[in-house]
Structure 1
Amino acid sequence: MSGPPADPFPNVATGPWLTAVAEDAARRTGVPADLLGAYLTLLADAALRGRRPSKAELSAVHDLGRQAAARNVTARQMAHLYLSAAAQLWSTVPREVRTRGRDAVSSAAEAVLLAVDGAVVALVEGHDVERRRMIRQAESLRQTFVDDLLRGDSDVASLVERAEPFGLDLARAHQVAVAAHSGRLVDEIALATALERSIADRFDGREVLVTDKGGLFVVIGPANATAAATAGAGNVPGNVAEVGAVTQEALDGLRRSGRWRVAAGRPHSGAYGVARSYEEAREALQLAERLHLDAPVVYARDLLVYRVLVRDQAAMSDLVHAVLSPLLAARGGAQPLLDTLRTYFETGAVATETARRMHLSVRTVTYRLARVAELTGLNPADAQASLTLWVAVLGARLLGWPAPEASPAR
């Protein structure tokens, strides 16, 4: 009884021939030869014996794809290496293979092509799997870092070390802006990515992080940096811009429907400075909503007086009711008199400018101011009385006083 036929090419698939092919392919493509693994062996088996690669061999190639991704070798580079190696192998197969009959050579070529196809598919799939895993891991690390940074309660040394891969130098001053949309957004992650890219372009890619947090977009950027394009600057370099203004311009450029409201904290240095600026920006956004401010960007520095008032809401409520409740007795209620007082103080106590802004006659404005003095006992033209009235008016805006259902006494 005869045994299996003898292998016509013993040891050829593991000899120095394949080592030379691997070294040549690596030199041509600039990709390390060790990432070929046993790929050339399975190709040689296909060329010499017509054997198709096994599941285990393709699984090994799949793992090589994952290794390549982990080593930052692109899928395109790996495909170049594998195809180059296949071409080099076929051109240098032992003479016995090339001198066989036409059918045998055609069969060997077909076997090699099928092996290359299966190996490259496994390679790319492995590369994609690892890249997705790396992206998920990087996003998780990034989100954890941003959360810790904005919370400001983590170890400073750890924050400084973890900030480096994200291009943040926490020794420098940074400013935080938050943006809220008036409607519902479909894909916050994609929008955050586009926003970060747009803002980074304006700051030459330096120290910019954008994330979505609690329904807000949070932008961390360098303070007092030179932006490549600022609002109304005509894309002329050399303009110093605040993160809030750059954020608003970038959002406008994304051409999304609905209205954006942006608030920016003050610039602060250090790891805790980012958390401080973030809290200021959030508070400014809340105050802007309570005060019904129309400005597209509100700055924490402009709302410091409101922050003082908010800190002791009970005292503010007492002040508002003690000073302004007599206005409820006015014909038409307190609101017209409140609006007149607010505009009067905002114009620097100029009655003519108040009348112009409110589209009223000067006589109507002076009548209302006199009515305020009569009801409250405080003359808006008097310096000390005007301070009391102005703080009370600010407090009324924050408290939403008087309530819409409040009605005049007569």
Structure 2
Amino acid sequence: MARSGLPGRPGVPSVSDDWLDTVAGAAAAACQAPVDLLGEYLALLAGAAINGRRPDPWELDAVRELGRRAAAQGVSARRAVDLYLSAAWRLWRQLPVVSRSADPEKVRAAAEAVLRVLDDAIGVLVDGHQSERRDMIRSEEALRREFVDDLLRGDADVSGMVERAEPFGIDLGKSHHVALAARRDGRGAIDRAATVLERVVVDRFGDRDVLVATKDGRVVVVVPARPPAAAGSSAASADIGALIHGELSRLRGGQRWQVAAGRAFPGVYGVAKSYEECRESLAFAERLGLASDVVHARDLLVYRVLARDQAAIVDLVRDVLGPLDQVRGGAGVLLDTLQGYFDAGDVATEAARRLHVSVRTVTYRLARVAQLTGHSVARPDQRFALQAAVLGARLLEWPGKPLPVEP
């Protein structure tokens, strides 16, 4: 083990003896740690035992750097400390001042000096290790945030994303679901919720092809799609949505959550596509006033289709439902009746029960709609136009808001 700096200094013994190398090698082998992490540490102990010398600041700085090196090499702080302690007691047994001296006072003084250096060295070693670990964690967190952002955005560098995903245990060649959890009040920290969900998701799906992160004040969960033999894609997405909401509901604080579950898609862009479905689903749920704790992207596909061509849906709402504005009090009552009728499966008695009115009132209002719009729920072609227009009206928040003006 090469040494420099200490030999030849006034008051410092020569440490070129082979016995120091033997001690270092034995300690490293016993602790299964790299021998170079000892640096000049044994020379410092020998100098303390023989001459009572305390390390200079720069020598302790060198030990601190060895602690950082240990962390960078993946050596735990405990193993690094074990290495230094093992080296200390092995050196003590072979020190000439101990093995050859008959003076108890001299042995006591040597022991005190060695323990002081040992205390100093262990302190700066652990400090250096912890400092490097903090830097590594911050770097890993930054890389993880950047990877999550690029993954959810759908980075164009496909090969680069595949390579970057490997350290996180994600095979982007497979299909994945995304689920997105948001607080209903939109406030409060979500880090604890993400930590809890990560434990649950790993326990349920394993530690491969899963990812739990936070983004834009929401918790993002990525899990692998189940094989067809186990469950269909819709069942799997429903399962992950219910699982996440169930776990979040158990958290203290009484916070209410809404979870959107996306469908499964393969490939690099599959995660981004499923994530976008979740974002749109939460947006639709808010605009439509959906009370469901778990919303599924597959159930809102019709809204996505309608929303893609706003000009067309504005025309549909204006042309089909616009005449309802002629009634006293506006179109709201008749629009709610249509929505209730469609939600009840076109059963007037069920619609009346949900709307808390009589069946006669429901049938009268539907007849009034047919009279004003020229579209009857009794005719399949006209019923479809009415329901599509009602869906579009909910998306546009009409009649609460005026329809957008054509450019």
What's the TM-score once normalised by structure 2's chain length?
Answer: 0.88
Q: Is the 8 A contact 1:223 1:242 kept in 2?
A: no
For 1:241 and 1:351, how far apart are their aligned partners in 2? 30
Quick one: which amino acid aligns to residue 258 of structure 1? Q
Which has the higher mean CA deviation after the structures are superposed, 180-189 or 116-125? Answer: 180-189
Structure 1: state its 5+ residue gaps.
1-5, 227-238
Q: CA deviation at 1:24?
A: 2.2
- Cα distance per residue 1:307-344 (max 9 Å; x no partner): 11111112211221222222233344322221221121
Give the 3-state SS of the residue equivalent to 1:219 in structure 2: strand
Partner residue, 1:293? 290
Cα distance in 2, alignment partners of residues 206 and 320 from structure 1: 47
Q: 1:331 to 1:225 in 2, by over 3 A?
A: same
| Counterpart position of 1:121 | 123
Q: 1:99 to 1:291 in 2, by over 3 A?
A: same
Q: Distance in 2 between matches of 1:395 and 1:255?
A: 38
CA distance in structure 1 between the partners assigned to 2:320 and 2:275 by the alignment? 35
Structure 1 residue 128 displacement after superposition: 0.7
- For residue 89 of structure 1, the aligned residue among 80, 88, 91 is 91
CA distance change for structure 1 residues 304 and 184 in 2, over 3 Å: closer, same or farther? Answer: closer
Residue in 2 that maps onto 1:171: 173
Judged with a 3 Å threshold, the aligned counterparts in structure 2 of structure 1 residues 105 and 185 are, in CA distance, closer, same or farther, namely: farther
Aligned to 1:155: 157
Q: Is the 8 A contact 2:249 2:255 kept in 1?
A: no
Farther off after superposition, 78-87 or 98-107: 98-107
Helix, strand or coil at the partner of 1:218:
strand
Instruction: Determine if the alignment matches structure 1 residue 369 to structure 2 residue 371.
Output: no
Q: Which moved more, 1:16-25 or 1:186-195?
A: 186-195
CA contact (8 A) 1:48 1:97 kept: no
Q: Which residue of 2 aligns with 1:200?
A: 202
Structure 1: distance between partners of 2:27 and 2:238: 51
> Which segment is superposed worse, 16-25 or 137-146?
16-25
User: What corresponds to 1:108 in structure 2?
Assistant: 110
Separation of aligned partners in 1, 2:205 and 2:356? 43
In structure 2, the CA distance between the partners of 1:143 and 1:244, relative to structure 1 (3 Å rule), is same
- What's the secondary structure of 2:26's corresponding residue? helix
Percent of residue pairs identical: 55
* Closer/same/farther in 2, CA of residues 404 and 8 from structure 1, 3 Å limit: closer
Please name the residue that 1:230 is paired with: none
1:152 alignment partner AA? G
**Does residue 281 of structure 1 match 2:278?**
yes
Query: In structure 2, the residue corresponding to 1:14 is in which secondary structure?
Result: coil
Q: Write out aligned runs for 1:171-190 (5 A).
A: 171-183=173-185, 185-190=187-192
Whole-angstrom distance in 2 between the partners of 1:86 and 1:185: 54
Aligned twin of 1:213: 215
Seen in structure 2, the aligned counterparts of structure 1 residues 241 and 318 have a Cα distance that, compared at 3 Å, is closer
In structure 2, the residue matched to 1:50 is: 52
Q: Does 1:130 align with 2:132?
A: yes
Segments of 5+ residues of structure 2 without an aligned counterpart are 1-8, 229-235
Q: Which amino acid aligns with 1:371?
A: R
**TM superposition shift of 1:10:** 5.0
Q: Secondary structure at the match of 2:279?
A: helix
- Provide the C-alpha distance between the structure 1 equivalents of 2:227 and 2:257, rounded to a whole number of angstroms: 23
Segment of structure 1 superposing worse, 354-363 or 189-198 = 189-198
Q: Distance in 2 between matches of 1:8 and 1:313?
A: 87
SS in structure 2 opposite 1:211?
Answer: strand
Query: Any conservation in 1 of the 2:50–2:97 contact (CA below 8 Å)?
Result: no
Q: Secondary structure at the match of 2:292?
A: coil
CA distance in 1, matches of 2:120, 2:175: 53
> CA separation in 1, counterparts of 2:193 and 2:23?
47
Q: Contact 1:327–1:334 (CA<8 Å) still a contact in 2?
A: yes
Counterpart check, 1:329 vs 2:326: yes
Question: Is it true that 1:272 corresponds to 2:269 in the alignment?
Answer: yes
Task: Please give the alpha-carbon distance, in whole angstroms, between the structure 2 residues aligned to 1:215 and 1:23.
Answer: 52
Identify which range, 154-163 or 30-39, moves more after superposition: 30-39
1:64 equivalent in alignment to 2:72: no
Any conservation in 2 of the 1:177–1:264 contact (CA below 8 Å)?
yes
Q: 1:280 to 1:7 in 2, by over 3 A?
A: closer
Which range moved further: 95-104 or 350-359? 95-104
Q: Size of the alignment, in residue pairs?
A: 388
SS, match of residue 124 in structure 1: helix
Asked if 2 retains the 8 angstrom alpha-carbon contact of 1:178 and 1:282, the reply is: yes
CA-CA distance at 1:284 after TM superposition: 1.3
Deviations 1:13-70 (A, max 9, x none): 3312222222222232222222111111101111111111111211111011111101
Note if contact 2:194-2:212 (Cα within 8 Å) is conserved in structure 1: yes
TM-score (norm 1): 0.88
Q: Give the Cα separation in 2 of the matches to 1:61 and 1:363.
A: 89
Counterpart residue type for residue 46 of structure 2: A
Which letter does structure 1 place at the counterpart of 2:363? T
- 1:231 aligns to what? none
Q: Relative to structure 1, is the Cα distance of residues 186 and 351 closer, same or farther in structure 2, using a 3 angstrom cutoff?
A: closer
Q: CA RMSD in A?
A: 2.5
